[in-house]
């Protein structure tokens, strides 16, 4: 009879995380997650190629972390980040902002050298 070993997800505490989420961002992610069926294990934040300036942020819900992901916990919310994206997200603060014109997640990234005119991509 074969046995299966389940390895626990190793989580980095917030104070050691190279990126951070504001309380407002965590609250909004939880609100959106609550509408998902099945309930996701966490939020993936990444950097992908694209846009006028070369890079774009990505956010998606995931049912599990990848083998090479770093896993961070923000007030119990699991955030998965792959090693390549982590290089571009070091020092980044993710917030959720609502104004009269728009609402959405805002990335304050000290590594950004420039952004495109429409604000959807950045370069480092």
Q: Specify whether the CB–CB gap between 79 and 57 falls below 8 A.
A: no
- The 10s digit of each residue's pLDDT in 19-28 is 999 999 999 9
Token pair 């959106």 is at which residue? 32
Residue 16 pLDDT class (50, 70, 90 cuts): low
pLDDT the model gives residue 32: 97
Task: Please give the backbone phi and psi of residue 74, each rounded to the nearest 5 degrees, phi first.
Answer: -120, 100
pLDDT the model gives residue 48: 87
Residue 78's contacts (CB-CB under 8 Å, 6 or more residues apart) are: 9, 11, 41, 42, 43, 65, 71, 72
pTM: 0.79
What average pLDDT score do residues 14-22 get? 79
What average pLDDT score do residues 4-17 get? 51
Q: Is 31 helix (H, G, I), strand (E, B) or coil?
A: helix
CATH of domain 14-123: 2.60.300.12
Least Cα distance to 72 among 60, 83, 84, 80 occurs for 80
């Amino acid at each position: 009879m074969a046995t299966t070993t389940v390895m626990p997800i190793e989580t980095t505490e917030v104070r050691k995380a190279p990126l951070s989420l504001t309380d407002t961002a965590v609250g909004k992610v939880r609100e959106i997650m609550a509408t998902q069926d099945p309930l996701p294990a966490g939020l993936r934040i990444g950097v992908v190629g694209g846009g006028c300036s070369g890079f774009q942020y990505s956010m998606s819900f995931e049912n599990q972390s990848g083998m090479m992901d770093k896993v961070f916990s923000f007030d119990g919310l699991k955030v998965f980040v792959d090693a390549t994206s982590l290089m571009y997200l070091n020092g980044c603060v993710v917030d959720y902002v609502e104004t009269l014109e728009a609402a959405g997640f805002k990335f304050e990234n000290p590594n950004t050298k420039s952004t495109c005119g429409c604000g959807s991509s950045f370069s480092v």
